[in-house]
Amino acid sequence: MHPLITPEALSDALSARPATVVLDVRWRLGGPPGRQDYEVSHVPGAVYVDLDTELSSPPGVGGRHPLPDPGQLQEVLRRAGVREGGQVVAYDAGDGSVAARVWWLLRWAGYGEVAVLDGGFAAWEAAGLPVTAEVPTPQKSDAAGDPEGGIVGDAAGDVVVRPGQMPVLDADEAAALAREGVLLDARAAARYRGETEPVDPKAGHIPGALNAPTTGHVGADGRWLGAAELAERFRGIGVSSDVAVGAYCGSGVTASSVVLALEVAGITSAEKPAALYAGSWSNWCALDRDVATGA
C-alpha cells in the first residue's frame, strides 16, 4: 500500500473494501483537543484516536510522547476495528504530520497496510465528500500475552501488535547518527536555530543535525509534494540514499512524517526505512545533553 492516499481513492476504498478502518487523529500542540473537531464533523465511520493518551505512553524522561505500550496500542487498534488483512488510513487536520504517527506506529507494530490521507480532513471536505457527526460505537477489546511476542485477545479487531519492526534511536544513537550519517530535525527553522522554544526547557538542536521542517513536505494547496520534488528537497538538505538517515522533532510525532516523506521520495524504502529518534528533543533536554544553536 502506498503511504499516501487521495480523498477520492479513500472514498472508493470505503465502498469497495469494508475492512478499511479510518482513524481521525486531529491534534493541536497546546490544544484544544482534536476530539472537539471530530464530534462536530468527520469522515463517515472514522474512529477518533487521541495522540496524548492512546498513541503515547505518559510523558516523562522518555519525552512528551513516548512510544505506547504494545498492549495498549493493540487495545486501541482492536477497539477501532483494525483487522489482519485489512487496511488503515489515518488523517489529521491537514498536512499529515500527526497522521504520520499512526502510519509509523502501525509499521513499527508489523502492520504494513496503512496510509496517510493526503491533505487530511481539509482535502476531504474540499473534494465535496460526505461528512458526519455520528460517532461509531466503541468495540470492546481484551488483551493477553502471546508466546511469539504479540498480544492476542477476543475483540472486534484482531490485529496483533508485534513491536520493533521500524528502527528506533535512543539519544546516544541519535548523536552518533548526526556525526556519522544524517539526522534531520523536523521542527520549524526558528526552533532548530534556537531563536525560540515554546515547549521544551532548552532551545537549539542536536549537534550536527540538519533542519528539514515538516512544512516543506506539502505545497500551497496543503497536499504532499510528488516523489521527485521531495527527493530534490532532501538532496538539497544533504540527504542521499547511500547514507544512513534518521529524524527527530519536539516529541517524536511530526518526525514520523519525515520518515514517511523519505520513503515517498524513494530515498528510503519500506524494507530499509529511516530511523526515528522517538524521544526526540523533549528526551534530549530531559537528559541534559549538549545543544547547538544557529543555522
With beta carbons less than 8 A apart as the criterion, state whether 130 and 41 touch. Answer: no
Handedness of CA 115, 119, 125, 127 (dihedral sign): negative
| Among 13, 80, 169, 249, the one annotated catalytic | 249
Which among 265, 229, 225 is positioned nearest to 245, based on CA atoms?
Answer: 265
- One-letter amino acid of 158: D
**C-alpha pair distances (Å), 162 with each of 111, 146, 150, 190:** 8, 10, 5, 38
What would the DSSP string read from start to end of 69-118?
PHHHHHHHHHHTT--TT-EEEEE-SSSSTTHHHHHHHHHHTT---EEEET
Q: Is 249 a catalytic residue?
A: yes
Question: How many residues make up the chain in this entry?
Answer: 295
- Edge-first strand listing for the sheet containing 114-117: 4-5, 114-117, 87-91, 20-24, 47-48
Q: Which residues are catalytic?
A: 249
